[in-house]
Structure 1
């Protein structure tokens, strides 16, 4: 009986270690677009306060694998953030990526010019903690920009 218990414990430990080292599940561009559209519909249907709370809540339906929604006011203030609730309410319009790109300012320019767009920059992956290329899909909604992205270009 003891050898069987030992084997089961060893198998469990091996599986746990293998999962920790496994590549994170990655969202697709199609999933990013769908999640942004879902967030936009939720804001329109439920109002900003209720929708932003759901977007920021990891269990609110707007976080899946490495995909999460962010909502930025055109004033640079983070309205909702699915990966880091501590960012909500902060003014981060001058945020730069590792290469010095002012990607939030670029996002606001793209929002004004296009309304719907894809943007690329480098950002920290939410589960690995590594800086990776990121591609986000964004849509303007009144005085905000709603975005969701994928990591690890090219896609």
Structure 2
């Protein structure tokens, strides 16, 4: 499983060289917008439930996408991705051992934040930009709701 995920990340990185020039043209979401999108998803979850939120995220509906921002959702105690607004291939996959190019186990950090007393916070790592394919520094806001975390990250300009 880990080799599959690493291969997928590498494929995205290979495509990044062709998209590198487009990276500057993408309108970037801000940290405040990422937090607001997570809060909006939590409100939707509380009103409509897990399955409806997962469907909205997985179907990439405009209400949960803004600029280069998208949501993802997983159980914080471990398990498979329930919803991912940028890559449907990640849904149903367990990403607990996934590391970025610098060896950061960012999924484990997501879980640690969600399991913490406060249940929310930020994680920094590197990830391919969903709009351009370019590998970029990313900061993701994670917030726990029930047994899940819902997250949204911002790509940092070079």
TM-score interval, smaller chain: 0.7 to 0.9
- 1:37-85 Cα shifts (integer Å, max 9, x gaps): 0011111110111111001112251111210000011223101100012
Structure 1's unaligned 5+ residue stretches are 1-18
- Higher RCO, 1 or 2 (CA under 8 Å, sep at least 6)? 2
Residue 82 (1) aligns with residue 85 (2):
yes
1:137 aligns with: 141
Displaced runs of 4 or more, over 3 A: 19-22
Residue 109 of structure 1: how far off its partner (Å): 1.2
The correspondence of residues 48-67 of structure 1 with structure 2, limited to 5 A, is 48-67=50-69
Structure 2's unaligned 5+ residue stretches are 1-20
Q: How many residues align?
A: 136
**Larger of the two Rg values belongs to structure:** 1
CA distance in 2, matches of 1:22, 1:126: 13
Residue 127 (1) aligns with residue 100 (2):
no
* Kept after mapping to 2: 8 A contact 1:63/1:83: no
Q: CA RMSD in A?
A: 1.8
Residue 35 (1) aligns with residue 37 (2):
yes
* Kept after mapping to 2: 8 A contact 1:134/1:153: no
* Kept after mapping to 1: 8 A contact 2:101/2:126: yes
CA distance in 2, matches of 1:150, 1:21: 13
Larger deviation: 76-85 or 51-60? 51-60
CA distance in 1, matches of 2:41, 2:52: 11
Superposition TM-score, scaled by structure 1 size:
0.81
Residue 111 of structure 1: how far off its partner (Å): 1.5
